[in-house]
A = this chain, B = another copy of it.
Amino acid sequence: MKNIIIASTSTLHGGDYLDYILPELQNHFKNCKTILFIPYARPSGISHEEYTAKVVLAFAKINIAVKGIHEFENPATAIQSAEGIFTGGGNTFLLVSQLYKNEIMDILANVVKNGTPYLGTSAGSNICGLTMQTTNDMPIIYPPSFKTLALIPFNINAHYLDPDSQSTHMGETRETRIKEFHVFNTIPVLGLREGSWLEVKGDKILLKGNLSARLFRQNQAPEEIESGTDISYLK
């Protein structure tokens, strides 16, 4: 049975890394002594080692050890033998490229579908959807495909940002970008604001956290989804 947390962000403004969601993670990973961390997205380009060190510190607060996937000879067996898995944020193009390069996209999808507890934040959440096509990241590397883990039957837009009515900047708003996506794609997109997450247990998908989320569907007006809503119907 799937057991997944898909979080918009790792960190809230003014808070420490993962702090806001640690109580949830304590329960989520309650049967894990050690979790496997996938640092491939390398936020700001930090190394796998630096990134993993940061995650080690956060999980130490709930007495869970962390090993980076780069510490293993074989990433596929690292995933297959993991008690729990966390994929951190950073650049989604890089993350997806690395998952394909190491031939673990399908393996990761399979173990999570079979019940290994999974946490994603930001880029690690984007890959839970059908494709990475609603990422906000820069295409710094050319991945062999935009297809991702398909753990949920829709796409995520992490760090969802409402249009700023005071802005004089003429770049596209997030809503405009998602509208452009829907000219060519039928996949629903859930804009997860920072502080929101999805809890997936088997086929049940619940929106959690204090905020509503914004749902975009092709040829429909965007819709606000309240926290606590069961969105298992969505596909």
- Please choose the segment from A52-60, A107-115, A173-181, A221-229 that sits at the chain B interface, where 4 or more of its residues have CB less than 8 A away: A173-181
B136 touches A181 (CB 8 A): no
Binding site for B on A (CB under 8 A): 9-14, 42-45, 90-91, 93-94, 132-142, 145-146, 159, 161, 168-172, 176-185, 194
Instruction: Tell which of B145, B184, B194 touches A170, judged by Cβ atoms closer than 8 Å.
Output: B194
Given A42-B183, A133-B141, 15 more pairs with CB closer than 8 A: A13-B170, A42-B180, A44-B172, A44-B180, A91-B180, A93-B139, A94-B180, A136-B171, A137-B180, A138-B178, A138-B181, A140-B184, A142-B145, A161-B169, A169-B194
In the complex, how many angstroms separate the beta carbon of A80 from the nearest chain B beta carbon? 29
Q: List 10 A-B contacts (CB under 8 A).
A: A11-B170, A44-B179, A91-B180, A133-B139, A136-B138, A137-B172, A139-B146, A140-B181, A142-B146, A161-B171
A180–B45 contact, CB under 8 A? yes
Question: B137 touching A177 by the CB < 8 A rule?
Answer: yes
Give the complex CA separation of A184 and B137 in angstroms: 15
Q: Write the nearest CB–CB distance from A208 to chain B, whole angstroms.
A: 18
Closest approach, in angstroms, between the C-beta of A15 and any C-beta of chain B? 9
Distance of A143 from chain B, by nearest CB (Å): 9
For residue A161, which residues in chain B have a CB less than 8 angstroms away from its CB?
Answer: 169, 171
- Contact between chains at B182 and A45 (CB < 8 Å): yes
B-side contacts of A93, CB under 8 Å: 139
Which of A133, A161, A170, A182: most chain B CB closer than 10 A? A170
Measured CA separation A138–B178 after assembly (Å): 8
A29 to chain B, nearest CB (A): 23
Q: How far is the CB of A88 from chain B (nearest CB, A)?
A: 13
Chain B hits for A178, CB < 8 A = 138
CA distance A175 to B155 in the complex (A): 26
